[in-house]
Amino acid sequence: MMRVDGLRAAGRGRALGSSAAAPPPPPPPLPLRRPPPQRARRFPCATGGAPPAALATTAAAAGAPPRWGDPPADAGAAAARALTRRIADAAEPWELAAVLSQHGPELNAIHVAALLSRAGKFAAGEGARPGAAGAAAAAARAAEARALVADLLLPLFEQRLPSLGPRGTANALWALAKSDCRLPPPLLRAAFDSLLQHAPRLEGQHLSSVVWALARWAALAEAGGSGAANGGDAHGGGALSSGSASGGGGGGGGGGGGDGDDPAFAAPPASPLAALGVPPAQLQELLDVASGCLPAAGPQAHANLLYGLACLGHAPPERWLRGFWEASAPALAAASPQHLANALWAAARLGVRPPDAWLAAWQAASRRRMLRATAQGCSLMLWAAAKLDWEPGPAWTATWLACTRPRLTAFPEQALAISCWALGRLERLRAAGAERAPDSAAAEGQEQQQQQQQQDERDPQQLVHEQEPSSSNNCDRSSSRISSSSSSSSSRSSATFNNSSSDSGVASSSPPGPDVAALRAAWIAEALAVCQGRLPHYGPAGVTNMLWGLGCLLQRPADGGDGGCGGGGGALPPAAADALIAATARLLRDLTPQELSNALLSFARLGVHPGAAWMARYEAAAEAYLRGASMHAQHHGNMLWAMARLRHQPGDGWLGALLADAALRLRAGAAAADAEAAARDGDGGGGSGEELFPPAWARGAAVAQERAGASAGQQQSQPQQQAPPWPDASDGARAASGAGAQPPASPHLYTPQGLSALAWGLARVAPARVPPELWAAIEADAMRRLPELPARRVTLLLWSAAAAGRQSPREWLARLADAAPHTAGGALLQDCAVVAWALCKQEARPPPELLLPWVARAGELLGRLDASCPVAAAAACQPASVLLWSLGRLGFHPGSAWLGTFYDACAAGGAGGLLAACSPRQLAMLLWALAALREAPPRGWTREWRAAWRRAGQRGAADAADLGMARAALRAFGAAAAPKAGEG
């Protein structure tokens, strides 16, 4: 150290005492850089054309750094900015209360919006620490925040509403809804009026925030209290991000979901907006005026906006939807998996199918991001596609199967159940599309036959119309939202599918790459293994939902044969069947009426008979509900359909309870009809029929509500286990009709579908054990509502009476004859055949005016039939033979023109005609019917008939009855030779 210091001192001495020349002068100073002159910037949309000074003050108050060229902010702006930061950094609700007490007069519009947004985050449980202590602290903080909003911030919002502007009003509404603070209808209408005044200045995020807030309040109103609906929002920190400039806006991603109302117990209002005090027309006006912001909005705003409209049941008009699809399609490429799932879910919930271009963009984007989607998101993507009857193509399906199969063990119970349901439905859609003839000229006639074939596969009464069961938490709409937590799967393997070519359109025409059938079989095997391991730990809702999903996935043919499964998934393994039977057996006493109905329906679909002991326990559990009249009217037909398919004969106790309950409901329907007629005539007397039911009917509703409350409490502690939506059967009609929808019918009374299902089930299960008084009550109820009965319902009622050996009264047949021209207009060929068959079973000859419209409708359908298509011909041969045979039994000649149409359909296409698809029994019935009508067929038709008889004999031998009918008919025609036994 001394040496270094000495050297430094010596150097300084030499430099100072040196006689060298003076150093050069320093260089001139550099010129100062001056900023270029700034142009006065104007933001008419944000500030209304305010001068730069006011703009700087606004920016400073919002906490934004000053821009270059802006004048320095004064002390007031700095104080406002500091106050905004203090609000944003508040860690407890009491800090917000302190800001209110200390700076109440100084708060501006931005401060009010920031206070509300921060309180909304506290109320949603933001910042909760893990563990029981953290959950308790978060619950206490949320309660304190709600009290703060209701007592202090809501009056402040009402006072400052005129000065908040569109952004502040939207953020405030979002925060109030987040805090479960309901606005009085006058205040909500005032807020809407303020938004309408500034609607052209609204951004997409603001519009989606407003719609989400309305959906949240509608969920609270339906749940009956803030406590029941509070658990559904904890997962996402808010379904929307309000994007407040003050930093106090809500965060988080969008959440799809919806109510899973049990149709037996929950009757949602026709319009949730009406319950909030907001007319649907006012909401639509806001959507129309603010539609200009949609092209600039992001995918999150698009998804949240559509999700909110779906939860509200508000279907915008076609012109608005067209603009929405066009504006949101380009943004789908940048959408997250959650937003993609939410958008398609909302479209399915509204019952509105997007255009093909939008679906193609959604298909490509979702396929690229499939690995990043959560289990709930993947399941809802598949569910929405199935609900829209849209088959995304083999490439997308293969990607979905490959991405979800390794993660099936992490699927929540309802996500796995709805995935099974949707996969089965999409497979049936794919199979129906593969069978569709490529010739577009025959599309119309073939569509009728395909609809008829689908009706046959579901059994004549079409009880189960591909609906999914109701969730156990059916009273909590908000608890059904998608979890916004990101998937735990890493995105390192996303290149596996990102590098593959995406589907070029909605229906991909590229050659199939992956083996979808093999992937599907492997997925089903893995799902069955996961299900079998989980069943012992499932509750009633989990077991029945899983059973329903498997029933749709592995559905067997309606005839109960061994020809495979309707869903294409193969038979249910015996081990899995035993596990399902054991799991449901231990829970039969705890099942709600909806779950009891779904359980038996699912076993019938699977073709698995649970056994005599299981059925005895099932009948005892269902009988308890029937005795108390606490079942939905539709459940009667569902249970009868399942028992008929399982070939089960119910016991006297269960059947007696069902018959008594059915008689009570029919009397209630008669009382309701009389009361409606009296009110229409101005008498004002009579009741609604509801008073006939005992108070004990609400037992099933109480069980469902109790489970809903328990599940809501569990979801608060485990927000990542949010249940996906389980829409009920009325979802599509209620959502599609929007504000003009009518409230659903009473669960006590039979709908037209339920009435025909009851008659069909009784005729199949216990035709000789039904008292005549009940048949008379069924026919009387049908006569009262005859104008609203479609053709299929009339067909089933007539078939049921004929199958039970009942002779219908003349009054019933006369009323049917009066309504026949209207009813037969929408009939299929099968309906016409069944009506003719049922009428030929009556002892008295039916009136010609009853039969003639159905025969004319059948001739019209035969004229449009493309018999050269094998699928269409195979679907038409059975009803055509039954129809003509019945006309022969009745002695009703349809006319030469009608028979000419029939001959043309039989001989069309040569070997591909209708005769070529007939069995020996059907060929014999056709020939016998022509002989009974004394109608000699043309020689060419007879030649085609003989060729078809020989071909049918090669496929299967005819029995003695077939040979007898054919020989008798040919002898009547004077034919040279009758068919021999060896030919058939």
| Helix runs in 292-407, H state only | 299-312, 318-328, 337-350, 356-368, 375-387, 394-404
Kindly report each contact of residues 290-293 with a partner whose C-beta sits within 8 Å and lies 24 or more positions away, as own/partner.
Answer: 290/199, 290/200, 290/202, 290/207, 291/320, 291/323, 291/324, 292/200, 293/202, 293/203, 293/204, 293/206, 293/207
Q: pLDDT tens across 400-425, in order?
A: 999 999 999 999 988 999 999 999 99
Say if CB 836 and CB 883 are below 8 A apart: yes
Six token digits for residue 873:
């011909």
Output the six-digit token pair for 763.
């005729």
Assigned token pair, 814:
């006369």
- Rounded to an integer, the average pLDDT of 311-321 is 91
Q: From CA 392, how far away is CA 401, in angstroms rounded?
A: 13
Look at residue 490 in the predicted model and tell me its pLDDT. Answer: 31
Q: pLDDT tens for residues 898-938?
A: 999 888 888 765 555 788 888 889 999 999 999 999 888 88
Q: How high is the mean pLDDT of the chain?
A: 73
Number of Cβ within a 10 Å radius of residue 282: 16
Q: What is the pLDDT of residue 9?
A: 39
Tokens representing residue 510 in the block: 């590229």
The share of the chain scoring above pLDDT 90, in percent, equals: 37
The per-residue pLDDT for 425 is 93
- Mean pLDDT to the nearest integer, 156-166: 79
State percent of the chain over pLDDT 70: 68
Rounded Cα–Cα distance for residues 328 and 345 (Å): 15
Give the contacts of 30 (CB within 8 A, at least 6 positions apart). none
d(CA 723, CA 414): 6
- Burial code (b: 16+ CB inside 10 Å, e: under 16) for 293-321 equals bbeebbbbbbbbbbbbbbbbbbbbeeebb
The answer to whether 193 touches 225, Cβ cutoff 8 Å, is no
C-beta separation of 216 from 273 below 8 A: no
Contacts of 389 (CB under 8 A, 6+ apart): 353, 429
Give CA–CA dist 765/781, Å, rounded: 21
**Tokens standing for residue 33:** 């850089």
Residue 509's pLDDT is what?
40
Q: Where are the alpha helices (DSSP H) in 74-153?
A: 75-88, 93-103, 109-123, 132-148
The secondary structure of residue 904, as a DSSP letter, is H
Q: Which two tokens stand for residue 281?
A: 């027309």
Range with lowest mean pLDDT among 10-24, 73-87, 388-402, 789-803: 10-24
Structure confidence by residue, pLDDT tens digits, 686-743: 444 544 444 433 344 444 444 444 443 333 322 222 233 333 333 333 322 333 333 3
Q: What's the rounded Cα separation, in Å, for the pair 49 and 230? A: 42
Output the CA–CA distances (angstroms, integers) from residue 25 to 12, 18, 236, 410, in the order listed.
21, 18, 69, 79
Tell me which residue of 851, 755, 749, 842 sits closest to 803, measured CA to CA: 842
Residues 281-306, mean pLDDT to the nearest whole number: 88
Please tell me the distance from the alpha carbon of residue 938 to that of residue 900, in angstroms, as a whole number. Answer: 10
What pLDDT shows up at residue 668?
87
What would the mean pLDDT of 338-344 be, rounded to a whole number? 94
For residue 126, what pLDDT is reported?
65
Torsion of CA 167, 171, 173, 179, to 10 degrees: -170
Per mean pLDDT, which of 160-164, 280-284, 813-817 is the most reliable? 813-817
At residue 227, the pLDDT reads 37
pLDDT score of 961: 84
Q: Which of 211-225, 247-261, 386-400, 448-462 has the lowest mean pLDDT?
A: 247-261
Tens-digit pLDDT profile for residues 533-586 = 999 999 999 999 999 999 999 987 655 443 333 334 458 899 999 999 999 999
State the pLDDT confidence band at 217, using cuts at 50, 70 and 90: confident
Picking from 658, 653, 855, the residue whose alpha carbon sits closest to that of residue 757 is: 658
Residues 732-765 as b or e (16 or more Cβ within 10 Å = b): bebbebbbebeebbbbbbbbbbbbbbbbbbbbbb
Angle at 396 between CA 555 and CA 307, to 5 degrees: 85
**Greater model confidence, 370 or 230:** 370
pLDDT surpasses 70 at 946: yes
Strand, coil or helix: 664: helix
Cβ neighbours of 403 (radius 10 Å): 22
Instruction: Check whether 132 has a pLDDT greater than 70.
Output: no
| Rounded CA separation 220/178 (Å) | 11
Tokens of 157: 């919002």
Q: How far is CA 230 from CA 213, 310, 420, 709, 874, in A?
A: 14, 19, 29, 11, 55
pLDDT higher than 60, residue 613: yes
Pair of tokens at residue 163: 């000065």
Q: Where is average pLDDT lowest: 38-42, 86-90, 776-780?
A: 38-42
Q: Where are the alpha helices (DSSP H) in 252-297?
A: 272-276, 280-289
Under the banding of pLDDT at 50, 70 and 90, the label for residue 92 is confident
Three-state secondary structure of 472-513: CCCCCCHHHCCCCCCCCCCHHHCHHHHCCCCCCCCCCCCCCC
- Asked if residue 512 has pLDDT above 50, the reply is no
pLDDT of 650-691, one tens digit each?
A: 999 999 999 999 999 999 888 888 888 787 766 544 444 544
Question: How far is Cα of residue 290 from the mean position of the Cα atoms in its chain?
Answer: 28
Highest mean pLDDT among 335-344, 446-455, 507-516: 335-344
With a CB cutoff of 8 Å and minimum separation 6, the contacts of 560 are: 607, 645, 647
Position of tokens 């067209």? 322
Comparing 178-187, 255-264, 878-887, the range with the smallest average pLDDT is: 255-264
**Reported confidence tier of residue 745, pLDDT bands at 50, 70, 90:** low
Per-residue pLDDT averaged across 146-160, rounded? 78
Question: Which residues, 6 or more positions from 527, have their beta carbon under 8 angstroms from its beta carbon?
Answer: 408, 416, 419, 420
DSSP-derived letter for residue 442 is G
* DSSP codes, 573-588: PHHHHHHHHHHHHTTG
Question: In angstroms, rounded to a whole number, what is the distance separating the alpha carbons of residues 460 and 837?
Answer: 14
Q: In Å, how far from its chain's centre is CA 940? A: 52
From the number of C-beta atoms within 10 Å of its C-beta (0-12, 13-18, 19+), residue 908 rates as: middle
Mean pLDDT of 870-889: 89
pLDDT: is 44 or 953 the higher one? 953
Phi, psi of 896 (to 5 degrees): -65, -40
- The pLDDT, as a whole number, for residue 892 is 92
771: amino acid identity, one letter: P
Cα–Cα distance between 558 and 567 in angstroms, integer? 12
